Structure 1
Amino acid sequence: MQHAIDQRVFVAGHRGMVGSAIVRCLRALGYRDIVTAPRDALDLTDQRQVAAFFAAQSIDQVYLAAAKVGGIHANNTYPAEFIHQNLMIEANVIHAAHLHGVQKLLFLGSSCIYPKLAAQPMTEEALLTGLLEPTNEPYAIAKIAGIKLCESYNRQYGRDYRSAMPTNLYGPGDNYHPENSHVIPALMRRVHEARLAGAPEVVIWGSGTPRREFLHVDDMAAAAVHLMNVSAAAYAAETRPMCSHINVGTGVDVTIRELAESLAQVVGYPGRLVFDSTKPDGTPRKLLDVARAERLGWRARIGLAEGLASTYREAFLDGASLRLG
């Protein structure tokens, strides 16, 4: 596989965790023409602004990593914002890309698109075969709509718009807000602060029994660039017209209790971990079948222990400021 390093590439959401990792990956590979636009210069929920941007930029490839994201608490608290903003972003960007002749686009989704009780590990064919997890249903529906947008433009106009569905991500650039973040950054911050305060225990939402799969964001970025540039023939051989997305993960999961214990070890916290079973657990298990991605030549390289340790150093020990928003 050869990377199209001379292409003019737009990374939507370049300041987010995934988008910034994609930019790092592209630069490391030698890409010379990477286009980005901060939110105050380009509001991706504004159709007119997005159309004008594409008209002026002559883009060849688009990585659609921009999204409103958050954990269980944020999804439960702001369902309208999660479905509205994500629908607007993907509709505006995908449609504008098509209208302005962009042939290649990669849409980044989420493993929450699959039914709550989908067979494990979840294959791409599980999409739309059952009810979604209620706590993040609005976000999941928006991401499913993004997949179907890509499929529809491919089918009607012959575009090459692909979709990657990552498992739970963590790493540099994550959001460490104690309520609006995902499980790893929220727990990492809580355990870190408990160690500094000498607190005897840390209370964790849920029973600790749900199983989750975690992927370092630098692995996700490498997968995104790989999937964008793999040949159309190879990609088509692993998909079909109405199942065009590819799972991206490690193929390995752990319980939330095991994750918390690993984080306590990384942080050096000696106290108790207390699980509050009155709080929601979310989906019982979320493990992706990653056979398609592996057949296309990509495999995760950063193990969870290594990734947690490097993430903790970067966020809490090396003088970096936390992203609280």
Structure 2
Amino acid sequence: MKNKNGFSRRNFIRQTSLGLGAGIAGVTIPSCDTAVQNENSRLPREVTVAGIDLRGLWPDTTRESRIKRILQRMELVTGIKPDIICLPELFDTIWVSEQYKISEVAESEEIPGPVAQRIGEFAGKNNCYVVCPVYTKKGGYYFNSSLLIDRKGKIAGAYNKIHPVKTEIIPSGPTDDVGITPGALDQPAIETDFGKVGMQICYDANWIDGWENCKNKGAEIILFPSAFPGGRILNHYAERFGCYIISSTGQDARIIDMSGNDIDSSSTFVRYSWAKISLEKVNTCTWPTNEKIPEIFRKYGSRLEIKVRDNTSIITIASLDSGIKVKDIVSEFGL
């Protein structure tokens, strides 16, 4: 149909649709599909990490409902082919109205229990590690723990929360038939096929000792399952200890670079965070590294990424070439 000026509504819609399609074709829309990349574009020691938040999943009525819903949310990130996914603290029981006893739901740190087994099935199916935070029991003691499930669905290691809150230590609620024992101060980093990882849980954010121990044990990534989001203290720890932090909490999920900056975070519309990170990266002091920068640039040029941050007196050096190891750069130039 045409109007008196010869304007065709049908042609306008058709042409506009084609133009809109062409416009969209030229725009990169962030999604899990962006994870499908040419192998040649991979960063050195590249690891794809993800965190899940609990927003929209609480309050819940039963543990079974919560577990099913968290698995559904985990499915959302499978398109990025994650190497590791972090889940929130005690995700199967926190803010669930169903009555349960801690002694009844606590699982083994070594052999997957009912919850860890289901998370393990997901891990095996999707060839990824998963941080599975649950109550555990060992030698008559009960812990607020994070189990690291490996790519085959087995338990690769466990971390026990060092600083439980008062109401965890002293049974106070209808479900708290036992108290939570604080974890050991000296806990090992856990080996994965991409490097060592450490873990901290919720209230641990208020003490530096556990984070420092993770760094001293060689952890390059620290996983932080929590009820509360942690806030800026996590950014400080990432920069101070030169490691990545992956948080998964009741309110948000974040990926924090060793520079102390957020790489990605969940939102009202996307309830997970994810990023491809490179472990060939190191923080160095501005002085005397700044004196070596011209020489480093002359030799390696665009094969390295060098970021100088005057306000923190830190220089971050990252390899962009699989043939270059940052430890060799540090050694070569005496950084």
TM-score (norm 2): 0.32
Instruction: Work out which structure has the larger RCO, using CA pairs closer than 8 Å and 6 or more positions apart in sequence.
Output: 1
TM-score normalised per structure 1: 0.33
Query: Relative to total residues, which structure has the larger helix share, 1 or 2?
Result: 1
Q: Say which one has the larger Rg.
A: 2
